[in-house]
Amino acid sequence: MNRHRYSLADLEANGIPTHALTAEQLEVLRDLTDDEFTLLVDIRSRLEAVGPDVQAHSDIAGAALF
Amino acid sequence: MSRPAGRRAAAATLRATIAQAAPTLRAASARLWQRPGLPGRYRGYLCAMHAVVRASVPVMEFAAGRCAELVDDPVGGPLQAYLRHHIEEERGHDDWLAADLAELGAGADPAGLLAQPPPAAAALVGPQYYWIAHVHPVAVLGYIAVLEANAPAVRLVDRLTSAGIPERAVRTVREHAVLDTGHTEQVFSLLDELPLTEEQLRLVSISGLQTAQALVGLYLHVLRRNPPA
């Protein structure tokens, strides 16, 4: 069965930058299912809401999960 | 049920997927550590994380129990063995969080902590019960992978203490900055060892992404309750 694959344009248009990805990483993202893609796009969309002014602190703290 | 020839390694696939969620997680987390109001926000963060971590062992025990029920499933045995081992590694860490809260003089009475956990914590942990009960216990590996792969950085301890938070109240952050590096490798190694089907790997990925999504919600909950002054 041929399943839909996301294009680079699909990924970029939905807030998933592709320029720094390896070929293998890119293939993984192009092969995401619709459910995976929807979840990932939602997560990426929240990055804008968080704002760029605190990016430096993320280098200090990590995501701080246990 | 064996891995189809030529399929990508499971660990690399999951790493590539959840890596795309990491910037949002780190940025949301970073907002917690802004200086204004940091001590109060740290307390809120500890309470929220206590609500999550208290569920770590029970969720894994539930998953291990489901593994034991599986028949003719080559994933169940090694998954159960991993979970039994990891349960012992994680056991009691909610007590560490309660102790850190007590050091803050923040009313770490267990009954008080358990009485009103934030809905965002239930939204984070709850899906695991669904996936484990109704689909396959391997889903919990996505949850574990996201939590373990996003451990606190060692430098967070300095940031917290320089804001006036007592050293003795940051034990959980300090310990996990060291412990979770090894735990991350364990879970990703297991993913490559398990004979996962394509559907099971997708389930792990969905579970991981859903975990990341809910974690952002949990951080935003803490921020709303304790906004930077």
Q: Give pLDDT tens digits for B86-105.
A: 999 999 999 999 999 989 87
For residue B197, the tally of other CB atoms under 10 A from its CB is 18
Partnered with residue B152 across adjacent β-strands are: A62
Q: At residue A61, does pLDDT exceed 90?
A: no
Q: On the CB side of B8, how many CA atoms lie within 13 Å of its CA?
A: 19
Whether the CB-CB separation of B199 and B106 falls below 8 Å is answered with no
CATH 1.20.910.10 fits B10-225, yes or no: yes
Whether the CB-CB separation of B195 and B131 falls below 8 Å is answered with no
d(CA B87, CA B70) in angstroms, rounded, equals: 20
Residue contact A64–B45, C-beta within 8 A: yes
Name the percent of chain A lying above pLDDT 90.
Answer: 64
How confident is the model over B8-23, as pLDDT tens digits?
A: 799 999 999 999 999 9
ipTM: 0.90
d(CA A23, CA A26) in angstroms, rounded, equals: 5
Q: How many contacts (CB atoms, under 8 Å) link A and B?
A: 140
Residue contact B159–A60, C-beta within 8 A: yes
Whether the CB-CB separation of A54 and B223 falls below 8 Å is answered with no
How confident is the model over B116-142, as pLDDT tens digits?
A: 899 999 999 999 999 999 999 999 999
d(CA B81, CA A66) in angstroms, rounded, equals: 21
Helix segments in chain A, DSSP class H: 8-13, 23-30, 34-50, 55-61
Write out the two tokens for B224: 């709303």
Q: At residue A60, does pLDDT exceed 90?
A: no
Q: Rg for chain A (alpha carbons), in Å? A: 14
d(CA B152, CA B224) in angstroms, rounded, equals: 21
Whether the CB-CB separation of B110 and B204 falls below 8 Å is answered with no
3-state secondary structure at position B36: coil
**Identity of the residue in A47, A60, A62 whose CB atom sits nearest the CB atom of B24:** A47
Nearest alpha carbon to residue B145 among B85, B100, B209, B81: B209
Confidence category of residue B178, pLDDT binned at 50, 70, 90: low
Partnered with residue A62 across adjacent β-strands are: B152
Give residue limits of the domains in chain B: 10-225
Chain A: nearest CA to B89, how far in angstroms? Answer: 12
Write out the two tokens for B214: 């809910």
Residue contact A28–B8, C-beta within 8 A: yes
